[in-house]
Amino acid sequence: MKRLLVLLLCLTLLIPTGRNSYAKSDSCDFFNPITDVCWWCLFPIRIGGVKVTLGYNNIDYSDVNSPICVCMTPFPRIGITVSFWEAARIAETVQQPWKFPDFCLDLSIAKIPAGGTESSNTVNQPRYQWQVHWIAYPVFEMLSIAMDFICLEHTGIDFGYVSELDPNWNDDFTALFVYPETILFANPIAEFACLPDRAMTAARQFGLTPLFWCAGNWGTTYPLTKAISETDSPTISAALAVAKVNAMLHRDFVAKKTAGLEALCGLGFSFIFPKKQYKYQLAKPIRDFQCVPVGQDEIWWAELKEPITKDTYHTFVIWRKRDCCAF
C-alpha cells in the first residue's frame, strides 16, 4: 500500500506531457512500459470509498460503494475496498501474419500459414483483416510498483492468444460452428438493437452491458473472426478486432472478471463481454495519452492517428478495472 501511495505522489512529476510520437518501423518498435503507457489511466482510484482523481478524461464507474469488505477466501479477513485501473495486457493488430512488432520478432519470413482458409473470392472481401496478439504484460509488476499489493495480478509476460494459430479466427464457417450464437448477433436486427449502445459511447460513456455483442460506434463483436465491416479508419477497425478477441476470451472462459462486488474476494469468469471492465489506450503507431471505453466515437480519439507511412500495425494497452478487498 505504501508503494501505491508513493506512486500517486510521483505521477504528477513523472508523467510525460507529450501526446504523440511516431512509430519507428512497421516491423520493429519495442514496447516501452514507461513511455508507451498513459499513466493517467490509472485513475480514478478509490480507497475505502474515497475517490482520488488526477489528469483528464478519467472515465470510470463503480459497483462497490461500501468502504469495508469481508471475505472468507482464500482465508477469513476484513479489509477495505480498493478500486483502480491496471495496465494488464497489450494487444497487437497486424495485417501481415506472424509479425510481432512490439518484440521485434518477424516470423513471416518462415512462410508459416495462418490457421483456417482464405476465400478465393476477393470481390466482397472486407477491407481490413487483422491478426491479433493478446499479450499478458503486467506493467506494474515489471516496474516493481506496489509489488506487495494483494490486489495486483502477479504474472510474467505471456502470449495469451495468437490469432494466426486459431482456425476460428481465420475461417468464418468454423467460427459459426464453434460459436452458434453468431446467428443471433451477426445480423441487421441485432445491429439495430445496438443504437442505445452507440448513443452511450458517442457521449463518451461506457457501453451497455446487456448489449454485450455491441461495440458502440466501432460495430459489433460478432462474428468472432478477423473480418471487419467496411470502415474508413484503420485505427477503428483495429480497435474492433481487439474488442472481438477480448469478447472471445470471455466467451471461452479465459479472461477473468475483475470488477464488481463478485470480484472483491477473488477473480471469477464472465461468459458475456463485461465492456465496463475495460479501457483501451492506443500506444502505436501514434501514441495517445488517454483511455477510451469500448466503442467510443473516433472523433474523440482516433482522428489523425495514422502516420503518413501507413504502418500496418497498431498496439493497444488494455486497462482493466480491479475491485478488491485489501488489508
Q: Which is more confidently placed, 266 or 195?
A: 195
Give residue 52's pLDDT band: very low, low, confident or very high (50, 70, 90): confident
Residue 41 pLDDT greater than 50, yes or no: yes
Tens digit of pLDDT for each residue in 90-129?
999 998 899 999 998 888 766 666 654 444 344 455 567 8
**pTM to 2 decimals?**
0.86
- Fill in the DSSP letter of residue 210: T
- Structural domain boundaries in the chain: 2-326
Q: What is the C-alpha separation between 145 and 122, in angstroms, rounded?
A: 49
Q: What percent of the chain has pLDDT over 70?
A: 80
Helix (H) or strand (E) segment spanning residue 168: helix 167-170
Q: Which residues pair with 85 in a beta bridge?
A: 321
Q: What is the C-alpha separation between 180 and 177, in angstroms, rounded?
A: 6
pLDDT of residue 17: 34
